[in-house]
Amino acid sequence: MSHVTESAEKTYETVVGLEVHVELATKTKLFCRCSTTFGDEPNANTCPICLAHPGTLPQLNEEAVAYAIKAALALGCEISERTKFDRKSYFYPDLPKAYQLSQYDQPLGQNGKIEIEVDGVKKTVRIERVHLEEDAGKLLHTVGGTLVDLNRGGVPLIEIVSAPDLRSGKEARAYLEKLKAILSYTGVSDVRMEEGSLRCDANVSVRPVGETRFGTKTEIKNMNTFSGVEKAIEYEAARQVEVLKQGGWVRQETRRFDDARRVTIAMRSKERAQDYRYFPDPDLVPFTVSRAWVEEIKSSIPELPDERRARYMAQYGLSAYDAGVLTLERTLADFYESAVQAGGDPKAIANWLMVEVLGHLNKENKAITETPMRPEHLSELVKLIEEGVISGKIGKSVLPEMLESGEAPRTIIERKGLIQIQDTSALEPIIAKVIENNPQSVADYRAGKDRALGFLVGQVMKETKGKANPQRVNELLLKALRS
Amino acid sequence: MGEALYEKSLLVLRKLLQDGDLTVSEVVQSYLTRVRTVETRVGSFIELAEEEALLQGAKTLDERRSRGEGDISHHPLYGLPVGMKDNIAVRGMRMTNASRMLEHYRSPYDATVTTRLREAEGIIMGKLNMDEFAMGSSTETSALQTTRNPWHTDYVPGGSSGGSAAAVAAGEVAFAFGTDSGGSIRQPAAYTGVVGFKPTYGRISRFGVAAFASSFDTVGFLTRDALDAAFILDIFSGFDEKDTTSLPHEPTNVYHTLKDRDPDTFLKGLRIAVPHEFMGEVISPEVKARIEEAFHVLEQAGAHIEYVHFPHMAYAEPAYYILTSAEASSNMSRFDGVRYGYRAKDVEDIETMFKKTRSEGLGWEVKRRILLGTFSLSAGHYEAFYQKAQKVRTLIHEDFARLFADYDVVLGPTTPTAAFKFGERLSDPLKMYESDLLTVIANLAGLPAISVPAGFTSAGLPVGLQIMGPMLGEEEVLGVAHAYQTLTEHHLARPTL
Amino acid sequence: MQVTRDTVKEIADYAMLTLNEQELEHMVRDMQEIVSFVEKLNEVPTDGVEPMIHPVKLMIVMHDDTVQRTEDLDAVLGQAPDRSGSYFQVPQVLGES
């Protein structure tokens, strides 16, 4: 599915490759035992090792390696048996050793792929490599100078590099969403976008349709929202096409995306090219990833989003779209699954979850994990409606409270006296009273005006403050009118 | 015997302490007096521990002993005064690396060897001078002070562990830690007439030892004799989880093997290789003569000495300088003035701060090696320089492997000449590098090697005999050194200060 | 190969070192001498030879994922030449503020 831009003479296509950095969910840093907790006092989580004091040496975090292997396997990569860390050198105040430990020519994982779907069209995006590296610290630029917080310095990251297989901002977004889903399913990362735990650089170029060579690319750095990536790519591709149409040429450069103005801006280009002087870190021994270890990790990978989506369609009869929405996030999919297991119609539960629950949570800007409502409660709510204990309308009215308080629906409706009146003996006197008070409507109905029935049902509902079961009221009214 | 306390070997001193013939206070007092007497002429210490604290510490140990508490056999260095090269972290003490960059830096943590030293109850006397960040062969590149050769104060003590060697030679400590990346323990040991021992790469943890060239740096000791070195090795060797480049082996057990061994039986039939390249024109006649005398002693005791060829000898130094400078250029980049150490004044922006800090904080030799290293790793030079040198390193490794298939040890001089005068080589890098000519190969191959005193030149300057062994062959190396010392008395000579 | 002033200047820039005129001249001379010396390696045929990273056979040991607090963090952070609160403070990063 190519995204093409029309111009007078030529039609251009966009070519995008993404480099995604994801923070791993380990408790400690990649090369020392400092905590990776987010939001602590500046430099509270540092030690002589991650501050690069003289004499310190890196100690490799086994869990980080295991997570990186797990992520690479989940992305369909081959795992390198021999691997090592290399030093990538540059001076910056957020990089204590003035080199970043990364993996240059022997990445942990290679040759993977991700399936994406855009507008109903499926596509395979190749993943060139997945490697492990350490994060840098954070800088805070103030008028008086720059402040350095190295709490993030040394936190394990994986870098996932795609092949230039994406053809639009929309595809890039679909790729990122799928990537996020896979990573959160495997549990290797919390993928908290707001904490910057997933960051994306995009290499963007354009070329005339039919051309097989790549155009000159620009790199858009450090984006951390999916919509930002989509917009940035669309803008940048259009900008490049415009440059070419004007007879100019695209300059190879690094740009950044201005979210507010929705444009990409060239970053201050250094007078000289960077030379990272990669070389194998002599402080860390090259190491072997044993087959047994890889197999052990492989067996711990849970069902991934694509598999789960297919299962939801087959097992619960969900539509492709619904199954897709419900499986995009593991937490949501797990919630759904638990609710279904507690009983109730899977389709109804899916509807309630997607429309009402997510609708409410989105308004509050919350995730499914942030509500105290338990999956069994959603199941109970759907069952109460199915059994006619409450109406759908009542269901909708108690849901916000369930989401806020975590109370069971039955507790809420009982406390509020919202249980539907199904009892004939309780409804009959009310119906008799309504018939008596509305002779005109009764006459209209008997004259063949069916609409009058609706009015009478409404009156009964009003009398019962909405607690009567409408279907039951209907039946009893008809019976009374016919008699 | 008439020998002063400070002249005794570690093991002799240890026995006196263990038997209760000496108190720790007496030992520490004696060494402090010695330091006060000679330090102005020798200049080994960058930082001497506070006298009061040392004496108090000694008193505490003595009192504990007199109460009959604490089994001192669990503390093999109980009460023995030890010196630390200033690139080794001792919590709370300075760790300057003899550089302006770290002139006021105090280490906030202990190196693994320091931790083990404290457990062994050795007494840390202080931090010893060195070439700046261990780059140099005379201790003249120290930005902080001059250390002199105790045998002749017009001469350099060698380097980079020059302070450690001089302190041991002058009797200021019972033994000293050094580091050896290309001869930095053995060469100053040869120049100052003490034993300098560098074990197999990775045998002793590097954690807490400021890196010069990570794949070369080896922690070792400067001692009065080879048996002392064996005793200390057994204490400090062994895997350390804080250093992934430390060897995954148990601590050695060399001392007990050596202690009761008859030197003649051991030397009988020993196969010794002497590469022609070690005895060529570049070796001064006097050094050559002393070394040939040493060969004679060993042959008399029944060892077989054969002259062999070491094919890649001529390429050892170039490979060494490329690789160590490349690693050093990267290891030195953490000194940027952000988190500790020196920072240049009056700088407006970060890049100027980096440049001014580094340019003012680092000395010429360090800069020269950083530049050579940066050059070797940069795009377009990586294959021709850095990687080429890595391949030559492999070839040197293979040369040794072939040699050790047929021989037990490789012998030769430690250095081509005896110590030189101050300023004689400082301005000529290649001339200076020549003093490491015979030592760098052991570091390229990671092998254990030792320098033992082998007599003097006519000017009264010590000459060192070098013994190299196969990978993990500390027992062979120390065994030959110890046997040689039971047959000779060179190691008993002490300088007059 | 010829070591030029430009080469040394460029390399010094990578390494964040500044050399004044006199130092630059001196360094070009030293570097030329050392580079010519090490170029001797070109005589050695090394086709098919593996580059060596470490001289001995080592086995990596990894650490488990349990947090260790830094003892006396103040002594570590207190070494900084300039601080603001618990941040390290440095001069402005050009083009970023």
User: pLDDT tens digit string along A458-469?
Assistant: 888 888 887 788
CATH number, position C34: 1.10.20
The verdict on B21 touching C (C-beta cutoff 8 Å) is: no
Among positive and negative, which fits the CA dihedral B380, B386, B390, B396? positive
Q: With contact defined as beta carbons under 8 Å apart, do B378 and A275 qualify? A: yes
Which residues pair with residue A102 across a beta bridge? A86
Q: Exposure of B154 by Cβ count < 10 A (0-12 exposed, 13-18 middle, 19+ buried)?
A: exposed
Chain A residues with beta carbon closer than 8 angstroms to that of B239: none
For chain B, give the percent of residues with pLDDT over 90: 94
Pick the closest to residue A34 from C76, B336, B335, B112 (CA basis): C76
The band of B2, judged by pLDDT with boundaries at 50, 70 and 90, is low
The verdict on C76 touching B (C-beta cutoff 8 Å) is: yes
Cα distance from N-terminal residue to C-terminal residue, chain B? 20
Q: With contact defined as beta carbons under 8 Å apart, do B90 and B111 qualify? A: yes
Chain B residues with beta carbon closer than 8 angstroms to that of C39: 318
Contact across the interface for B393 and C33, Cβ inside 8 Å: no
Q: Read off the tokens for B155.
A: 């001469």
Neighbours of chain B (3+ CB pairs under 8 A): A, C
Instruction: Provide the shortest C-alpha distance from residue C80 to chain B (in Å).
Output: 4
Count of domains for chain C: 1
Which residues make up the CATH 1.10.10.410 domain(s) of chain A?
424-482
Chain C residues with beta carbon closer than 8 angstroms to that of A268: 94-95
Q: Biggest alpha carbon distance in chain A? A: 99
Contact across the interface for A89 and B330, Cβ inside 8 Å: yes
User: How far apart (Å, rounded) are the C-alpha atoms in residues B70 and B60?
Assistant: 12
- Domain range for residue C25? 5-41
Neighbours of chain A (3+ CB pairs under 8 A): B, C
Q: Exposure of B497 by Cβ count < 10 A (0-12 exposed, 13-18 middle, 19+ buried)?
A: middle
The verdict on C40 touching B (C-beta cutoff 8 Å) is: yes
- Quick one: pLDDT at residue A413? 87
Interior/surface letters A355-367, b for 16+ CB within 10 angstroms, e for the rest: ebbbebbeeeeee
Residues near C85 by beta carbon (within 8 Å), at least 6 away in sequence: A42
Amino acid at C95: G
Residues (pLDDT < 50) of chain A are 1-2, 7, 271-272
In total, the C-beta contacts within 8 angstroms joining chain A to chain C are 117
User: How far apart (Å, rounded) are the C-alpha atoms in residues A388 and B234?
Assistant: 83
The verdict on C67 touching B (C-beta cutoff 8 Å) is: no
C46, part of any domain: no
User: How far apart (Å, rounded) are the C-alpha atoms in residues A350 and A309?
Assistant: 13
Contact across the interface for B339 and A57, Cβ inside 8 Å: no
**H-run or E-run covering A215:** none
Contact across the interface for B211 and A55, Cβ inside 8 Å: yes
The verdict on C14 touching A (C-beta cutoff 8 Å) is: yes
The verdict on A282 touching B (C-beta cutoff 8 Å) is: yes
User: How far apart (Å, rounded) are the C-alpha atoms in residues A236 and B290?
Assistant: 76
Kindly report which listed range (A213-227, A404-418, B192-206, B464-478) carries the lowest average pLDDT score. A404-418
Which of C70, C71, C74, C92 to substitute to test the interface with A, most A CBs within 10 Å?
A: C70
Q: Read off the tokens for A319.
A: 């539509």
Which of A29, A41, A43 to substitute to test the interface with C, most C CBs within 10 Å?
A: A43
Q: ipTM above 0.95?
A: yes
In which residue are the tokens 């308004």 written?
A: A363
* Nearest by CB: C85 against A42, A59, A91: A42
In which residue are the tokens 């002799």 written?
A: B12
Rg of chain C's alpha carbons, rounded to an integer? Answer: 23
Chain B residues with beta carbon closer than 8 angstroms to that of C68: none
Contact across the interface for A148 and C90, Cβ inside 8 Å: yes
CA distances from C1 to B367, B381, B462 (A): 21, 11, 40
Contact across the interface for C10 and A46, Cβ inside 8 Å: no
Contact across the interface for A42 and C87, Cβ inside 8 Å: yes
The verdict on A277 touching C (C-beta cutoff 8 Å) is: yes
Pick the closest to residue C39 from C31, C29, C47, C50 (CA basis): C31
* pLDDT greater than 90 at residue B68: no
- Quick one: pLDDT at residue A387? 84
Chain A residues with beta carbon closer than 8 angstroms to that of B111: 55
User: How far apart (Å, rounded) are the C-alpha atoms in residues B89 and B108?
Assistant: 8
User: How far apart (Å, rounded) are the C-alpha atoms in residues A283 and A276?
Assistant: 18
User: How far apart (Å, rounded) are the C-alpha atoms in residues B380 and B376?
Assistant: 9
Name the residue in chain A with its Cα closest to that of C16: A91
C80, part of any domain: no
Contact across the interface for A47 and C70, Cβ inside 8 Å: yes
The verdict on A93 touching B (C-beta cutoff 8 Å) is: yes
CA distances from C25 to A88, C3, C7, C20, C28 (A): 30, 11, 12, 9, 5
Interior/surface letters B303-324, b for 16+ CB within 10 angstroms, e for the rest: bebeebebebbebbbbbbbbbb
The verdict on A238 touching C (C-beta cutoff 8 Å) is: no
Q: Read off the tokens for A391.
A: 């109406």
Q: Exposure of B130 by Cβ count < 10 A (0-12 exposed, 13-18 middle, 19+ buried)?
A: buried
Q: With contact defined as beta carbons under 8 Å apart, do A367 and A361 qualify? A: yes
Cα distance from N-terminal residue to C-terminal residue, chain A? 66
Q: Read off the tokens for A38.
A: 């987010």
Residues near B37 by beta carbon (within 8 Å), at least 6 away in sequence: B497
Domain B5-310+401-492: which CATH number of 3.30.70.600, 3.30.420.40, 3.40.640.10, 3.90.1300.10: 3.90.1300.10
Amino acid at A372: P
Q: Which of residues 51-90 of C touch A (CB under 8 A)?
A: 53-54, 58-60, 62-70, 73, 76-77, 79, 84-90
Q: Read off the tokens for A362.
A: 């989105």
User: How far apart (Å, rounded) are the C-alpha atoms in residues A19 and A160?
Assistant: 6
Note the pTM of the prediction, 2 decimals. 0.90
**Helix and strand totals (H; E) in chain A:** 16, 17
Contact across the interface for B339 and A284, Cβ inside 8 Å: no
* Nearest by CB: C97 against A63, A65, A141: A141
User: How far apart (Å, rounded) are the C-alpha atoms in residues B103 and B337?
Assistant: 12
* Nearest by CB: A98 against B89, B334, B382: B334
Which residues pair with residue A266 across a beta bridge? A255
Contact across the interface for A285 and C86, Cβ inside 8 Å: no
User: How far apart (Å, rounded) are the C-alpha atoms in residues B234 and B424?
Assistant: 39
Q: With contact defined as beta carbons under 8 Å apart, do B215 and C53 qualify? A: yes
Phi, psi of C8 (to 5 degrees): -60, -40
Tell me how many degrees the CA angle B278-B283-B286 measures, rounded to the nearest 5.
Answer: 125
Q: What's the number of CA atoms in the CB half-sphere (13 Å) around residue B307?
A: 6
- Quick one: average pLDDT of C18-29? 96
The verdict on B471 touching C (C-beta cutoff 8 Å) is: yes
Q: With contact defined as beta carbons under 8 Å apart, do A329 and A119 qualify? A: no
- Please tell us whether the domain made up of A424-482 is placed in CATH 1.10.240.10: no
Q: Which residues of B are catalytic?
A: 85, 160, 184
* Nearest by CB: A277 against B107, B214, B377: B377
User: pLDDT tens digit string along B312-337?
Assistant: 999 999 999 999 999 999 999 999 99
Chain A residues with beta carbon closer than 8 angstroms to that of C67: 27-28, 33-35
Q: Which of residues 355-384 of B touch C (CB under 8 A)?
A: 355-356, 358-359, 362, 367-368, 370-372, 374-375, 378, 384
Q: With contact defined as beta carbons under 8 Å apart, do B205 and B251 qualify? A: no
Enter the DSSP assignment of B102: G
What is the average pLDDT score of chain B? Answer: 96
* pLDDT greater than 60 at residue C96: no
User: pLDDT tens digit string along B255-299?
Assistant: 999 998 888 899 999 999 999 999 999 999 999 999 999 999 999
* pLDDT greater than 60 at residue B355: yes
Report the interhelical angle of A392-405 vs A375-386 (nearest 10°): 160
Instruction: Provide the shortest C-alpha distance from residue A115 to chain C (in Å).
Output: 32
The verdict on B339 touching A (C-beta cutoff 8 Å) is: yes
Chain C residues with beta carbon closer than 8 angstroms to that of B338: 80-81, 88, 90
- Quick one: pLDDT at residue A417? 76
Omega into B160 within 30° of 0, i.e. cis?
yes
Enter the DSSP assignment of A35: B
Pick the closest to residue C3 from C52, C36, C42 (CA basis): C36
- Quick one: pLDDT at residue A4? 57
Q: Which of residues 10-69 of A touch C (CB under 8 A)?
A: 26-28, 33-35, 41-44, 46-48, 51, 53, 59-65
